[in-house]
Structure formats: C-alpha cells, structure tokens
Structure 1
Amino acid sequence: MTTEALQIGNRTIKASELIPLLASYQMLPQLLRELIIDEAIAPIECTPQEVDQAKKQFYAEKHLTQEAEIQAWMAYHGLTASQLETITVRKLKLEKFKQATWGNKLESYFFQSKAKLDKVIYSLLRTQDVGITQELYFRIQAKEQTFAELAKEYSLGPEAQTGGLVGPVELNSLHPAMVQLLSSSQPNQVLPPTRIAEWFVILRLEKFIPAQLDEPMKARLLNELFETWVQEQRKQITSLRSEAGE
C-alpha cells in the first residue's frame, strides 16, 4: 500500500502531508465547507432529465462545447468521468437542498429583513466645516444655487462627480444616522445640516424604492439563509474539535 498522493516536479507529496499543507495554505476552511455541503446534499435525488440538464448547463458555463475540450478540462483538473458527473450534478443538488430546507421560510424572512433591503436614491453634500455647510444649506433653501451645483463645487466625497446624486443603494449599506434621516423624510425635502461621523452633511431624498420579493431576491435570501447555516455548522464542528483537544 502506497502513501504517495501527488508528484509535483521532484517532490512527492504523501497522503499524510495533505492536511498540514492545506492548513498552511489556509485551505482547510474551504475543504470543511465542501464536506459539510456534501453531507447535506447526499440524500437529494435527481431525475435523469435533471442530471442531463445539469451537465449541459455546466458545460455551457465552462464554455466546453467539444468532447476534446471536456477531456482536456478533466485532465487539467485531474478528474475522472465519474468525478466530473458528480461535480456537474452537485450544484443542482445544492439548489434543491436549499429550496427544500428554506423555500417555505423566504416570505417571513423577507418581511423581517425588508427594512434593510429597501433602496433609496438621494442627494448628498458633505464638508468638514459646519459654517460652510450651513451657508450652503441657506443657498439651497433660497434657491440661489441648485443642490447639484453646490455638491459639484463643495462636496468632499465622490458624490461631487455626480452633483451629489447617490444610488440606488440599499439602506443597510448606509450609516445608521443617514438611514434614520432618509427613512423619515419625504422626496425632494432638503434636510438641515447634520453631523455624521467626521462630516457635516446635507441630505435630500430623491426616491424611495421598496424591496420586492421577486426571483432574484428569493435567490439572494435563499443564499443568505444557506450561508448562515453553513457558518453554524462550521462553528459546531470547530467547537467539537476544540473540546476534543485536536
């Protein structure tokens, strides 16, 4: 029985060396993730039609149109035909697992998360001088100059390039103070200067865009629930290993 696993140039990698090597290359977390997924999707059944479709989709994604290209791809990755079939069906099984596990929870999860998923388009003008910001606010109120003109001239962030216009962006990507201000204002209402972190800002909500539970959103939320589950599984395994003294 040989313990050799891989020949790289003049170096022979033994099976016993693989785990330490994976650890030194910081690849063990990825390996653990894939093993968790394999165990989860093992019971998932696929019809022959689904398997055939999964293969076609996989080849299309990899731009493999000829048998010679498929064989070359397999050789490059060191795969057998059986291993390749496992890979092509794996994504299908994973999607079916996600749907079976969390598909009926998407609507409630969406409504729990909706406040963070809503989007806004807004105008922003920011400086680091409260006096200048106050003066600019008065100019906007008096209609001496437009918000866009003043943002281009005075705003100190990248929004100056767009006349202060930002978005659409999700509320969860903004500073909590900005979320509170924008969520409680009306479109086209110019808000008085406010201190946020190191900036003095003037804000104007342009448009509020409610999140919709459409197909892209369903796919996103399904992946969020799945990723949370994977992280929990990894923590449990890591905790058990720590308790075992490994």
Structure 2
Amino acid sequence: MSKSITITNEDILQEIKLSCKTPEIVEQIVSRKVIISAAKEAGIEVETEELQKAADLFRLINKLTSAEETWAWLEKHSLSLDDFEAIVYSSVIFGKLSQHLFTDKIEPYFFENQLDYAGVVMYEVVLNDEDLAIELFYAVKEGEMSFSDVAHKYIQDTELRRKGGYLGIVRRQDLKPEISAAVFAVTPPQLLKPIVTSKGLHLIFVEEIIQPELDNKLRNQILTNLFDEWIKQQIQPVEFVKLFELGS
C-alpha cells in the first residue's frame, strides 16, 4: 500500500536551501523586479493582443495543443491561471524593455565588434602527441592522407568522426584566442600547422572564412547580450536583505 506524503511550502523552501540554489533564485527574483520597475518607469505597457500572441507562442513551444494539455501542464508545475498569465506577461515586458533600451544600439555595437562575429567553416582533430600531430600535418599536406582519413582514424567522438571533424560555422568569439589568431590569418582553403592549447594539439583545416552580416538572428543575439549585461549591471549594486531564514 502506497503512503500519502504531504509537502508544504516550508518543505519546498528547505529543499531550495539544501540544494544551494538560493543565490540563483534570489538573483532571478531581483532581475524580474528590476525589469518590471524599469519598464514601469519607461511607461511601457502590455496590450491584451500582445499577451494573447505570447500565450499562443508559449503553448506552441511547449507543445500544449489543447486546453486539456495546458491545464495538465499547469497542474504538473503547481501553477494557477494567474501564474500562467504572469509568466506570459514577464516574457512580453522583458522583450519590450530590451527593445526600448537597445534597438538603436545594435548596429553601432555590431560595427564596433564585427570582427568577433566573423565566422569560419572548419574541420578539427585534437591530438595528444606532438610528433604524431606534426607527422599527420605533413602527411595531409603532401597528399599521403586526406584530412577525412585523419579524422576517421583519430577522433574518438562517434558523431564528430562521422562528420570528418566538421565543426560547422564557428564564430571568432567562440574560439580560443590562439586558435582564432591562426585561423583568421590564412587564406582558405588551408591546413594549419598543429596549434597547442590546454586541450592538446589542434590539427585544423580551414575551408572558408565568412564575413559577418547583421541578419535577424545576429540582431536578436546582440540584443539579448546587451540586455543580459544591462541586467547584471543593475543588480550588482542591489543589497539583498535577509528577510527570513529558509527552513526555520
């Protein structure tokens, strides 16, 4: 026979405390309060139509295709309809505030930092033996082996091995400095001499350098980065007042 277990609000607070997630949750609470306060000061309001669109998008993302599935999801997460509306409202107000603060700053930021957004189409094999890395470099260079042959023989990760070491389009800002300096100094297509990092010796084939373009995807990325940085700056000077002892 199964036992009935009662979980109280105090139990939940105690679990948050014991899981050491209090600082993370406090930061989320402060961020939310800072954003809502800033939106209010800026005179930003949310229209009913905007809430409805955001609610529809939320249900679509979470695959809640019917009212029954939505209610089941709310019950699973112990949320009321008011809680759901608060989630949707927050997503809309966050988006509108970020647009209000930073839409005009996206292009200047991009042009100031556009080198960071350059991309490279590259293939990579990471080795632990310097002599082997040099040997393989010259073997590929002289046509004794293909880069694909090296990748299939020396890459341990199954999926990466199947792709021949193909990493896709990698942003300059996502590469280690020592690698980006070498990669963006060549004229593709070109095989680079092994580069030493803390991970090992990187044998890299550069297929193409892609110049940065301020498309919608990059606009949204920059907007998100600027907004996240702004939030960090806003909450740094905030002093957290300990109102109660969790679990007491």
Q: CA deviation at 1:170?
A: 1.8
User: Which residue of the partner structure matches residue 246 of structure 2?
Assistant: none
1:209 is matched with: 210
- Which structure has the higher relative contact order (CA within 8 Å, separation 6+)? 2
In 2: Cα distance, 1:73 partner to 1:202 partner: 48
> Which runs of no fewer than 5 residues in structure 2 stay unpaired?
243-248
Structure 2 match to 1:185: 186
Give how far 1:69 is off.
5.7
Q: What is the deviation of 1:55?
A: 4.0
Code of the residue aligned with 1:41 in structure 2: it is A
Contact 1:133 1:193 in 2 (8 A): yes
Question: What's the counterpart of residue 37 of structure 1?
Answer: 35
Q: Is the 8 A contact 2:116 2:171 kept in 1?
A: yes
In 2, distance between residues paired with 1:91 and 1:198?
39
Per the TM alignment, residue 21 of structure 1 is displaced from its structure 2 partner at its CA by 7.6
**Aligned with 2:238: secondary structure?**
helix
* Partner amino acid, structure 2, of 1:205: V
Q: Using the alignment, how far apart are the partners of 1:70 and 1:125 within structure 2?
A: 46
Counterparts in 2 of 1:147 and 1:37: CA distance versus 1, 3 Å:
same
List gaps (5 residues or longer) in structure 1. Answer: 1-7
Give the direction of change, closer, same or farther, for the CA distance of 1:40–1:147 in structure 2 (3 Å limit): same
Name the SS for the 1:143 alignment partner.
coil
**Correspondence for 1:4:** none
Q: Is the 8 A contact 2:36 2:93 kept in 1?
A: no
Cα distance, 1:62–1:196 mapped onto 2, change above 3 Å = closer
Q: Structure 1 residue 120 and structure 2 residue 117: aligned?
A: no
Give the greater-gyration-radius structure (CA): 1
Between Structure 1 and Structure 2, the one with more strand by share is: 1
Closer, same or farther in 2 for the Cα pair 1:230/1:139, shift >3 Å? same
Comparing 54-63 and 209-218, the one that deviates more = 54-63
Q: Is the 8 A contact 2:126 2:199 kept in 1?
A: no
Match of 1:99? 99
In 1, Cα distance between the equivalents of 2:165 and 2:89?
A: 48
Distance 2:7 2:217 in 1: 49
Instruction: Determine if contact 1:106/1:221 at 8 Å carries over to the other structure.
Output: yes
Distance 1:194 1:78 in 2: 52
For 1:189-233, what per-residue CA distance to the aligned partner results, in whole angstroms no more than 9, with x for missing partners? 222334333533332211122232111211111111111111112
Deviates more, 1:134-143 or 1:212-221: 134-143
| 8 Å Cα contact 2:126-2:155 kept in structure 1 | yes
Quote the residue 1:231 is aligned against: 232
Percent identity over the alignment?
A: 23
* Contact in 2 for aligned 1:22/1:28 (Cα 8 Å): no
Shift of 1:11: 5.0
CA contact (8 A) 1:126 1:157 kept: no
**In the superposition, relative to structure 1, how do residues 123 and 90 fare at CA in structure 2: closer, same or farther (>3 Å)?**
closer
* Other-structure match for 1:195: 196
- 1:9 paired with 2:6, answer yes
Matches within 5 A, 1:17-166: 25-26=21-22, 27-42=25-40, 43-64=43-64, 84-153=84-153, 155-156=154-155, 158=157, 159-166=160-167
Q: TM-score, normalized by length of structure 1?
A: 0.75
How far the C-alpha of 1:28 sits from its partner, in A, is 2.0
Looking at structure 2, the residues matched to 48 and 11 of structure 1 have their Cα atoms a distance apart, in angstroms, of: 35
CA distance in 2, matches of 1:232, 1:9: 41
Task: Please give the secondary structure, in 2, of the residue aligned with 1:212.
Answer: coil
- TM-score, length-normalised on structure 2? 0.74
Q: How many residues align?
A: 230
Q: 1:186 and 1:170 mapped to 2: Cα distance? A: 17
Specify the SS of the correspondent of 2:113.
helix
